[in-house]
Amino acid sequence: MPRVTCACQTVRVPIEFARSERSTVGLEWEVMLADPLTGELVGRAPELLTALEEQSAAERHTVTGELLTNTIEVTSGVGATVSDAVDDIAAAIAAVRRSTDPAGIELLSAGSHPFAQWFNQRVTDKTRYRELIERTQWWGRNMMIWGIHVHIGVDDRDKVIPIIGALSSFLPHLQALAASSPYWAGERTGYASNRALVFQQLPTAGLPWPVRSWAEFESYVDDMTRTGVMADVSEVRWDIRPAPRWGTIEVRACDGMSTLTELASVAALTQTLVEHFSRELDGGRALPTLPAWFHRENKWRTARYGLDAQVIVDSAGSQVPVREHITAVVEDLLPVARELSCEQELDGVTKILQSGASYSRQLHAADAADGDLRAVVRHLIREFREGPEQSVPA
């Protein structure tokens, strides 16, 4: 028989949750750097970032590097409204363009680049990135993925885990709206969000474990750090996670949004959902949950089919087209959106349903160019500058 050793008693280190104003918004947006003629990614972030970081030091927004040198990340300040955070992101992009336009670099965002190859990309020279690649090897080198992160402030630490449990049922909806990675290394994958399935290959990434309290979350982090899985709580890479340093819940399930208006829409849906669940807890009402296996199935369905997926919406296994369910949810959340001053941004969700998410527009651009993926890059570059194309049928 295998030998079982006795576990020594350990002292769990408390994880402090910073004070945060309720339902405030913070946004992070990962952006690709590309050659305007060929559409290829260019690893030129290091030559731009010193000046950009200095320039943003006195601003509400920040501009920083990421895992790959072909990427920059822009981050908002803490916004009282979605509009506040989006204005910060717009200012950050404008600042970046003042450097990239003269340098002959174009900007675009999606969950993946249509044809870039991982072996042509360089990893940023930072210890944490080198350690990540050393540990994860081929999968880490293949992390040619771009996403958005939406932070929503939570006023009570004891609300965090219940809200994450309830919000997990809506991660597939957010994933479908943001899906923008139908291509991978030149191949049409058949998935609306190939990024969703690639990213979960990293240790501690993927759907959150169904912990039931803050104490259980602390125990999880303690187990993972004691066994060397991660260094600290910041390496919890769940699709939705507590962000104790900021006092927020952070949604990380979404592909990189191709346009600023769509980023605003997904942020508004996230903010109104969190506020709705917070109010339910204030009223002493239990939040709805789904079995973990339904969460996993829903994630796969919307990664595969995007807005054409059917999602499981209750513990009985009832299934509804995700477009239909999103429409109903948005209607239910309109009163909350009015109070949070994000009604206009939430209405943008309906526009995505009508015009199609980025993945469908990319497929349309490729089909119109007889499969030339350089045309898809040009399409993404144009959308990043001008906004989403409204003529593509859903």
Q: What is d(CA 261, CA 41) in angstroms, rounded to the nearest whole number?
A: 24
Instruction: State the Rg of the chain over Cα.
Output: 20
Neighbours of 310 (CB within 10 A): 16
- Domain annotation covers residue 394: no
- Judge whether 42 lies within some domain: yes
Which range has the worst mean pLDDT, 6-10, 71-75, 111-115, 288-292?
Answer: 6-10
Region 324-332: what's the mean pLDDT? 98
Domain count of the fold of the chain: 1
pLDDT confidence bin for 3, thresholds 50/70/90: low
C-alpha–C-alpha distance, residues 341 and 278, integer Å: 17
pLDDT digits (tens, 9 = 90+) for 304-324: 999 999 999 999 999 999 999
pLDDT of residue 140: 86
List pLDDT tens digits, range 122-171: 999 888 888 889 988 988 888 999 999 999 999 999 999 999 999 999 99
Q: Does 11 reside within a domain?
A: no
- H helical segments located in the chain: 45-56, 82-103, 127-141, 157-167, 171-178, 194-199, 214-226, 260-282, 292-305, 322-339, 343-355, 358-368, 373-386
User: Is the residue at 154 inside a domain?
Assistant: yes
Confidence of residue 9 (pLDDT cuts 50, 70, 90): low
Q: 168 in a domain, yes or no? A: yes
Closest by CA to 126, choosing from 212, 73, 204, 67, is 67
The answer to whether residue 109 sits within a structural domain is yes
Q: What is the pLDDT of residues 46-91, one digit of tens each?
A: 999 999 999 999 999 999 999 999 999 999 999 999 999 999 999 9
As a whole-number percent, the residues of the chain with pLDDT over 90 amount to 89
Q: What is the pLDDT of residues 233-280, one digit of tens each?
A: 999 999 999 999 999 999 999 999 999 999 999 999 999 999 999 999
Per-residue pLDDT at 240: 98
Place of tokens 């908002």: 76
CA distance 216 to 58: 39
pLDDT of the residue at 391: 42
Q: How many residues does the chain have?
A: 394
The pair of three-digit structure tokens given for residue 237, joined into one six-digit string:
């890479």
Torsion over CA of 300, 249, 339 and 330, rounded to 10 degrees? 0
Give yes or no for residue 394 having a pLDDT over 50: no
Residue 5 lies in a domain: no
pLDDT, position 393? 39
pLDDT bracket for residue 5 (50, 70, 90): low
Residue-number span of the structural domain to which 328 is assigned = 25-386
- Please tell me the predicted confidence (pLDDT) of residue 389: 64
The fraction of the chain above a pLDDT of 70, given in percent, is: 96
Dist. CA 227–CA 250, nearest whole Å: 25
Asked if residue 10 is part of any domain, the answer here is no
Strand partners for 26: 151
Q: What is the mean pLDDT of the chain?
A: 94
CB atoms within 10 A of CB 56: 19
Query: CB–CB of 172/179 below 8 Å?
Result: no
Contact 89, 148 (CB under 8 A): no
Between β-strands 148-153 and 25-34, what pairing exists: parallel, antiparallel or unpaired?
antiparallel
Looking at residue 118, its pLDDT comes to 93
Q: Report the pLDDT averaged over residues 320-346.
A: 98
The CATH number of residue 76's host domain is 3.30.590.20
Q: What is the mean pLDDT of residues 347-372?
A: 98
